[in-house]
Structure 1
Amino acid sequence: MAGEQVQATRPWPGAVNMALTLLAGIAVVQWLPALPPEWVMGVLVVCATILAWRLPRFRRLAPLLFGFAWATWRGGSAMDARLPRAWEGQDFQVIGHVVDLAQVKAGATSVLLEIERASLAGRAVSWQGRARISWYSKPSAEPEPCSRWQLRLRLRRPRGVVNPGGTDSERSALARGIAAVGYVREDPRNQRLGVATWCLDRLRGSLADGIQARVHDPHDAALLRSFTVGDTRGLEQQDWIVARANGISHLLAISGFHVGVAALFGLWLCHALYWLWPSLALRYPRMQAQALSALALASAYGALAGLGMSTVRTMLMIGSFALARCSRRAKGSSHALATALMAILLMNPTAVLEAGFWLSFVGVAFLILCMDAKGRGLRGFLCELTLGQLVMTVSLLPLTMWFFGEASLVGALSNLVAVPFVSFVIVPCALFGTLLLIVWPPLASPVLRVAEWLTHAQWWLLEQAAPWPGAHWYLPTVTPWALVLAMLGAVWLFAPRGVPLRMLGVFLFLPLLWPVRRLPAEGGFQAWTLDVGQGLAMIVRTRHHTLVYDAGPRFPSEYDSGAAVVVPSLYALGMDRLDVLMISHGDNDHAGGAAAVAAAFPMARRFSGEPARSRVPMELCQAGQQWEWDEVRFRVLSPVARVPKAPANDDSCVLLVEGRAGRLLLTGDIAASTERRIADSLRPGPGLVLQVPHHGSKSSSSAGFIAATGPELAVVSSGWRNRFGHPHPAVMQRYAAAGVPVFNTAVDGAVQIDFPAATPAYVAARWRRMERRYWRE
C-alpha cells in the first residue's frame, strides 16, 4: 500500500516537457514570413504519429511537429477566413449579432459584430466572420450585447501600421479572430432586429451600468467596473499611464489572482456548509465537494469577467487541481500549469500572439519555481504576496520590455500594497455589492459606496507613486537574443537553492539593459518616415541630436498618433531626448499628435508654420532659420512671408537636411505654386531624398519640381485605401517618368533611410518587408 501511495502521488513526468515542446512548435510558426503549403502539414502530422507510436526514443519530438502543423493550419484558416480582397471597400448588407460590450467614445461607437449573413450588390455571398465595426453617427438604438442587427457596412481586411516599437493591430486581429473592419453606412434599412433573452455579456453590461448608477464618482465607478466585471470602457488614457507606472495593469484587466480569490470563497462556502450540516459528508466526500465548489465559483466569475487570458489560465489550473482531487490523484502546481497551457494551445494556438498569454504563464511559472519551496499555508501565502512581487517584477521585465517597450521599476513596491488590498478588500466588497445588484438591489448601494471609498484611497496612492523615478522606464527595441539571455538569467537567478552561482544570472540581463545602438557618424544622419496612416510624421537623428517633423493625426475617438506611434518609435529607436519638434502647419493630419510629443519631451524647442493653430505654444517657422548638429546642416526654406488668402498648406515649414553625402527635403503639404520657389532656393549638392508634398495629391509634385530637385528617391506618407485617393495616379506617373522610385508608407510601413557620412548617398529599408510575418499583408 505504501508503494502504491507513492506511485499515486508522483506527478506525471512528461506533462511539463510535452507542454513546452508543443509551445515551441507553435511559437516557431509565428516567426515565419509566410506559411508553408498544406502538404507540409500532412507530412508533419504523419511524422509526429510515427514518432509517438513506433519510435519511443524520439517520442518527445512528436508534440513539436504536431504543434508546428497545428499552428500552421489554424493560422492559415484564420487568414483564409478574412474578407476576400476583391470585396474590400464595397458596401454589404449584413445580419449579425453584437459580441462583447460596445465601446462608446466621442465621435464613434464600436462593437464586435458576428456576421451571420451577408449580401453584396443584392446577391448573397458565402462569407461569415467577426468584424470590428463603428458608427460615426449616433446609432438608431443602443448596440447591446447579443442584439441582432441589419446593417449596411463598408468593409475591408484588417490592416494596421508598422513602425519601430509600435503595436501590431494585424497580429491582434488574427489572435482575436477578427476577419474584417469597417463602418456603418447611412441606410433606412439599418435597424435592430431584437435582443437575446439570456446573454452573459448582456448581464455584464447590466451589472456595469448598475455600478455606474450607484457610485457617485464616475472615475471610481469606472475602476469598480473594471475590478468586478472586467469592463474597462470607462478608463481614460491617464488611468492606463498610472497603471503602467505602478505595474498594476493586470489588476485592471481582472487578474488570475481575482479568480483565485473567487475559488477560495467557493472553498470556504463549501466548508461552511459541511460545518453546518456534517451529515453531508455521508453522501458526498468533503474534499471533492470543496474542489468542485471552488471550480464552479471560479468559472462563474471568470465568465462574468469576460474570459481574459489570465482568467482562463487560472480557471484551467483550478480545473486541473479539481480533477486530480476528484480522481484521488495528487498533482503538483507545475502539472496544473502545464495542463492549462496545453488546453489553451490546443483550443487556440494563435493565443501565443498576445502579450497576455506570455505574461500570464511565464509569471506563474516563475512563482511556482520560487514559491513551491517556501511552504504551504499561511507561510507560502505571505511569501507569494511579498517575495512573489519581486519575482514577478524581475522575471517579467524582459517580456514587458519586448511587448511594450517600457517597464516599471517601482512595480514590486506598488504591487506589494495593491495586490492584497485590491484582491482581498476591494474586490470582495465590490463583488458582494455586485451580487446584491442581482438578488437585492436596494442593499447594493451602501456596499458599493464602501467599495468606492476604498478604491478612491487606493488609486490616490497609486497616483502619488506614478511620477517616481523609474516608474516609466524605456529601453530601445529588445532583440530576440537579448530577450532569450535575459529570460535564462531570470531562471538562473530564481532557481532553487543548490544551483551554483545564482547571482551571476544578473549579468545575463546586461544585453537587455545596455543594448548596442547604431548611431550615425559625424556628418551622417538617419531618417524615418513613420507609418501614421493618412498623415505625416518623421524623425531625423544625427549622432547626438533628434528632430521630429510633424506628429501625425489625432482623432475624436482619442487615438493619437503622437502618443501611439511617434513617442513609442522614439523610445524604441533609443532616443530619450528630443531637441526640436517642427510641425509643418496646423492641419490635423500633421499637427494632431503634437501635444502628446510635446508632453513627452517638454524641453524640446518647438516650431510651426502656423503657430496660431497649434494646441501647444510654438515659435514661428520661417525661411532663413538654420543650425548645425554634428556636422549636419538644417535650413528652413519656407514660408517666406504670409500671403493674404493663400492656402494654409503653403504655410508649411519646408526643411532641408544636408549631410556630407546626402540630403533630405521635407516639404509638408506645399502646392505647385510654392514648389517653384523651393526648387529655386536649392543649391547643387549630394543626392536628394524627397518627402513627397501633400501625400501625393494631384495639385503637388509638378513635373518641373521633380525635374528641378532631381530626387534619387521619393517617400510618400499616406493611409491604406484612404478616401482622398493619395497618392494620385497622375503624380505616380510623373515620378515614374522621371525615373524616381517611390516608397509609400501605406504599402511599405515605416521607411528608414540612412545617410552615411560618405558614399553611398543613402540606404533605404521598408519595415513591412524587414519585419515580415504571415499575418501582415
Structure 2
Amino acid sequence: MYRYAIAFLGGTLCLPLCFSRLPDPVWGWALGALLLFSLVRRRFQLAAVLAGLAGFWWQAAVQLQSQLPPALEGEDIILVGTIDDIPARGPRVLRFPFRVEGREDAPLPIAFPRRLRLSWYDPQQLPRVGERWRLRVRLKAPWSFRNPGGFDYEAWLFRQRIGATGYVRDQAGARLGGPAWYRPAAWRQGVHAALEERMRSRPGGAVVLALALGARHGLTDAQWELYRLTGTSHLMAISGLHVGLVAGLCFGLVRLLWAASPALVRRLAAPRAATLAAMSGALGYAALAGFSIPTQRALIMVWLVCAALWLQRQLHPLNTLGLALILVLLHDPLAVLGSGFWLSFGAVLLLVLFHLRLRQAGPAATPAGRFRRLVQAQLLLSLGLMPLTVLNFHTVAWLSPLANLIAIPWVSLLVVPLTLLGVALFALAPGLGEALWDLAGLAYSGLEWLLARLAALPLADLHLARPMWAVVAALAGILGLLLWRGQPRYRWALLLLFLPLLLYPTPRPPLGTAWVDVLDVGQGLAVVVRTRSHTLVYDTGPRFTSGLDTGAAVVAPFLRTVGRTDVDALIVSHGDNDHSGGAPALIAAFDPVRILYSDPPAPAPRARPCRDGQAWNWDGVDFRLLHPADAGRDRNDASCVLLVESAAGARLLLPGDIEAGAEYALLRRHAASLRAEVLVSPHHGSRTSSTPALVRNVAPGLVIHPAGRGNRYGFPHPDVTARYAAVGARQPISGCSGALQLHLDAAGEVPAPPGYRERARRLWHRPDPGCAPAPSP
C-alpha cells in the first residue's frame, strides 16, 4: 500500500511543482485515457500517479474558475450566505469565511466564488458559525505581497478554497436564521463561546482554547515567537498525538468499565466495545478541532487501527500511514500546499521507520534503555524535520529536542486531558469544568515559563536559507539513515548529506557592487541595499490597523532568506506610516548599528537625523545623503534622499516622498550629481512630485514606482508616467510585479528585472488585468 501512496503523492505534486499555469483542457482527456489504459493493463502504480495528478488538476481547475468578475471588484453588493467557521476575534474586527448562497439584488455569475473571507469592523451583533446572514460587502480578488521569504497569502486562500476577500460595509447585518442544533459546527461554536467567555483573561486561556478547538487566533505574537524559538509550535495544533491520546483514554476506560458488567460482556466483548468508544472519541475530538489536516490524518489512522482490532487483523504501520495519506489527498488534494501536511506526515513517517528499526533490535530491558530510546526518537524528529522547517520557515530550532522532551509529555499527559475533561464536564457541572480549565491554563503557564528560560539561551534564534537541492539532499540523508540495510559503520556517513543544509554559503555581491531589492509592501516603500558584507534598509513599509506589520512580515523574513543576520544602517526617510510603520518591529528583530531619520518622533532613542553631506563607503560602494540640508521642512519634503553608487559608477537614487519644493531645493544644491540609472519615483509617482526638471536631470533608464495594486490615490499618476516615458525609462510598479531585484555594477543601462510575482509564479497566482505596468517607451 505504501508504494501506491508514494505514487499517488508524486502525481499530486506534478502540477504545483512543474507548472505555473494549468495545462490546456485537451490534455485532461489524454490523461483520462491513459489512466483507463493503465487500469486495464493492471499498471496500478502508474494509475496511482495519474489518479493523483487528475485529482489535483480537477480541484485546481474548479477553484481557479471561481473568480470575482472585475466589474464587481470594489463595488457594494448584498450577499446571502452562511458563516462557514468560527469567527476569529481581533481588535475591533471579526474575520470569518462566508459561504455564498446568492445575491439579493441581482443574480450571481456562474463563476462567482462561493467561499469568501470577510472582515467585519465593530459589528453590532456577533455572528456564529452555521448562521445565515444577509450582508452588504465590498470584495476584491485574491492578491498579496510577493517577496522572497514572505508568506504566500494567495496560496493560503487557494488552499482554503477562498475565491475573494473583502469586508462588511454595514455594522448591522441581518441575521436570517441560526444553525441546526445537530450540526457539529453549532456544537463547536457553543464550546468556543463558553471557553472564550470564561478563559479570555485567565492564565493560559488562549492556549486552552487552541488545544480544545484548534482556535489559535487568541495567541499573541510573543507566544508564537517563543514557540518558534523552541520548536514547540506543533503543540498549538491538535495533532495526531492528542487524537491518539483521546482514543487511547476512551479505549482503556470503556474496556475497564465494560468488563466489570457480565451482562454487557455477553452482548458484546469488552475489546470491541472499547474499540467503538475509541473510534467515537477520536471522531468527536476531530470534529471539535474542525477536521484540520493533522486531525484528519490521525483520525483515519485511529479508525484503521480500530478496524484491524475489530477484524482481528494485523496492519503494517507503513501501509496504515500510506492509506491515511491516500484518503486525506482524495478528500483534499490541495492539502499538499500546506506545510502542516508535510510536517504531520513527515513526523509520523520518521517515528514509524524508527519503530521498525527498534522492533528488529528487540524491546528495551530497563527504564534507562526506554528513556534513551525516547531521547533518540526526539533527536530523530528534530533532525528529520529540520530540512522541512528550513524550507518553510528558514529557521532551525536547535533547542527543539530538549524543549519537546519536556513539553510533549507535559502537554499531552497533563494540559490536554484537563482541557478535554473540562469540555466534557462543562455541560453537566459548569463550575467543575471551569476549574479544570483553570488548572490546564496554570499548568501550561508553568511550561511557558520554562520555555522562555530556554529561549533566552545564546544562539536560540538560528536562521538558515538554503536552496531546494540542499533540502532534498538532507531529506535523502535522514531517510537513508533509517532505511540502511548495509554495514552499520557506513550508515552514519549518510549524515554528510546534511552538510549543504548547514554550511552552504549564501550568495553575496562582489566587492564594489550593490544588490538592491525594492520589496513589495503594497502602498508603501521598503528597499534593501546589500554590499559584500553590509546591509542597509531604506524605509520599512506600513503597519496596518489589522495588525499586519510589513517590518515583521516582509522585510525581516526577506533579510533572513538572503542570509543577512545584521542590519548596519536603517534609514527611515520620514514619519509617514507607509514608510516608517514597520520600523519598530525591524529594530526589535535586528537592532541596527546605525539609525537615521528625518522628522520626529525618532524611531529609536539612539537614532540621529539625516542631513545633506553625510557619506560613507562600504565594500567599494559609496552612500551619500543629499537631503534635507537642515530641519524645519514639512513631513514629505523632509525625506532623507540617498544616492548609492557602485565602484563602476552605476547609481541608484532614493528620494522618499519629496515633492516639488524639495525637488527644486535638491536641484539647486546637487543638479550636477543627480544623474542615476535607477530611480525610485518620489512620493510613489504622485502628480505633486517628479517635476520635469528632476526627470531631465536624473534621466533614469529604470524608474520603479512603489505603489500598491489598485491604490485609492491613483499612483503612479498618468502625467508622471508620461514624463518618464518621454526620457525612455522603463517603469515597473512594485505592487504589481512583486519584489524587484537589480544589480548596481557597471555604469550604463541597468536591465529591468522580472518581478518576483512572475519569477516565482505558481498555479494560484492569477494574472490581474487591472494591474498593468506603467507605460514605457
TM range (shorter): over 0.9
Please tell me whether residue 446 in structure 1 is matched to residue 416 in structure 2.
no
SS, match of residue 548 in structure 1: strand
Distance 1:170 1:128, change over 3 A: closer
Partners of 1:185 and 1:679 lie apart in 2 by 46
SS, match of residue 114 in structure 1: strand
Choose which of 617, 634, 638 in structure 2 pairs with 1:647.
634
SS, match of residue 97 in structure 2: strand
Q: Please name the residue that 2:645 is paired with.
A: 658
Please tell me whether residue 670 in structure 1 is matched to residue 653 in structure 2.
no
Distance 1:698 1:511, change over 3 A: same
SS, match of residue 100 in structure 1: coil
Higher mean displacement: 249-258 or 371-380: 371-380
Residue 401 of structure 1: how far off its partner (Å): 0.8
Please tell me whether residue 218 in structure 1 is matched to residue 202 in structure 2.
yes
Partners of 1:390 and 1:729 lie apart in 2 by 59
Partners of 1:528 and 1:60 lie apart in 2 by 45
Choose which of 319, 338, 344 in structure 2 pairs with 1:360.
344
Q: Please name the residue that 1:159 is paired with.
A: 143
SS, match of residue 89 in structure 2: strand
Deviation digits for residues 587-616 of structure 1 (CA, Å, limit 9, x no counterpart):
111101001111111142111111325366
Q: Please name the residue that 1:387 is paired with.
A: 376
Distance 1:128 1:30, change over 3 A: closer
Q: Please name the residue that 1:24 is paired with.
A: 10
Q: Please name the residue that 1:537 is paired with.
A: 526
Summarize the alignment of residues 254-273 of structure 1 with structure 2, pairs less than 5 Å apart. 254-273=238-257
Choose which of 466, 480, 492 in structure 2 pairs with 1:492.
480
Deviation digits for residues 165-220 of structure 1 (CA, Å, limit 9, x no counterpart):
111011111111111101112387x3222322424344334323433444585341
SS, match of residue 764 in structure 1: coil
Partners of 1:384 and 1:731 lie apart in 2 by 68
Q: Please name the residue that 1:135 is paired with.
A: 120
Paired residue type of 2:573: S
Choose which of 87, 91, 103 in structure 2 pairs with 1:118.
103
Q: Please name the residue that 1:9 is paired with.
A: none
**Is the CA contact 1:371–1:384 (under 8 Å) kept in the aligned structure 2?**
no
Partners of 1:730 and 1:426 lie apart in 2 by 63
Higher mean displacement: 691-700 or 612-621: 612-621
Choose which of 28, 45, 52 in structure 2 pairs with 1:67.
52
Partners of 2:254 and 2:263 lie apart in 1 by 13
Paired residue type of 2:353: L
Distance 1:754 1:606, change over 3 A: same
Deviation digits for residues 443-463 of structure 1 (CA, Å, limit 9, x no counterpart):
223322322321111111111
Residue 400 of structure 1: how far off its partner (Å): 0.6
**Is the CA contact 1:22–1:66 (under 8 Å) kept in the aligned structure 2?**
yes
Summarize the alignment of residues 82-231 of structure 1 with structure 2, pairs less than 5 Å apart. 82-119=67-104, 122=106, 124-126=108-110, 127-136=112-121, 138-186=122-170, 190-198=173-181, 199-215=183-199, 217-231=201-215
In structure 2, the gaps of 5 or more residues are: 767-777
Summarize the alignment of residues 49-60 of structure 1 with structure 2, pairs less than 5 Å apart. 49-54=36-41, 56=42, 58-60=43-45
Distance 1:758 1:655, change over 3 A: closer
**Is the CA contact 1:754–1:763 (under 8 Å) kept in the aligned structure 2?**
no
Higher mean displacement: 367-376 or 60-69: 367-376
Distance 1:219 1:37, change over 3 A: farther
Partners of 2:373 and 2:61 lie apart in 1 by 41
**Is the CA contact 1:756–1:762 (under 8 Å) kept in the aligned structure 2?**
no
Q: Please name the residue that 1:463 is paired with.
A: 452
Please tell me whether residue 374 in structure 1 is matched to residue 358 in structure 2.
yes
Deviation digits for residues 21-78 of structure 1 (CA, Å, limit 9, x no counterpart):
1111111210211110112122112112212222x4x442221122222212211111
SS, match of residue 601 in structure 2: helix
SS, match of residue 86 in structure 2: strand
**Is the CA contact 1:152–1:187 (under 8 Å) kept in the aligned structure 2?**
no
Partners of 1:470 and 1:256 lie apart in 2 by 31
Choose which of 401, 404, 407 in structure 1 pairs with 2:390.
401
Tell me the number of residue pairs that the alignment of Structure 1 and Structure 2 aligns.
755
Please tell me whether residue 38 in structure 1 is matched to residue 63 in structure 2.
no
Paired residue type of 2:631: R
SS, match of residue 742 in structure 1: coil
Deviation digits for residues 224-244 of structure 1 (CA, Å, limit 9, x no counterpart):
111222121211000000111
Partners of 1:378 and 1:284 lie apart in 2 by 35
- TM-score w.r.t. length of structure 2: 0.93
Q: Please name the residue that 1:310 is paired with.
A: 294
SS, match of residue 575 in structure 2: coil
Distance 1:65 1:229, change over 3 A: same
Please tell me whether residue 705 in structure 1 is matched to residue 690 in structure 2.
no
Summarize the alignment of residues 724-763 of structure 1 with structure 2, pairs less than 5 Å apart. 724-757=713-746, 761=750
Please tell me whether residue 342 in structure 1 is matched to residue 321 in structure 2.
no
Paired residue type of 1:88: E
Aligned residues: CA RMSD: 2.2
Deviation digits for residues 544-574 of structure 1 (CA, Å, limit 9, x no counterpart):
1000000111122221100111000001011
Distance 1:61 1:123, change over 3 A: closer
Residue 321 of structure 1: how far off its partner (Å): 1.5
Please tell me whether residue 594 in structure 1 is matched to residue 576 in structure 2.
no
Q: Please name the residue that 1:10 is paired with.
A: none
Partners of 1:665 and 1:525 lie apart in 2 by 13
Distance 1:762 1:219, change over 3 A: farther
Paired residue type of 1:431: L
In structure 1, the gaps of 5 or more residues are: 1-14
Q: Please name the residue that 1:11 is paired with.
A: none
Distance 1:395 1:309, change over 3 A: same
Partners of 1:206 and 1:95 lie apart in 2 by 23
Q: Percent identity?
A: 36
Paired residue type of 2:230: N
Deviation digits for residues 139-167 of structure 1 (CA, Å, limit 9, x no counterpart):
12012222222111111111111101111
Partners of 2:55 and 2:604 lie apart in 1 by 51
Summarize the alignment of residues 235-274 of structure 1 with structure 2, pairs less than 5 Å apart. 235-274=219-258
Residue 85 of structure 1: how far off its partner (Å): 3.3
**Is the CA contact 2:283–2:299 (under 8 Å) kept in the aligned structure 1?**
yes
Residue 745 of structure 1: how far off its partner (Å): 1.3
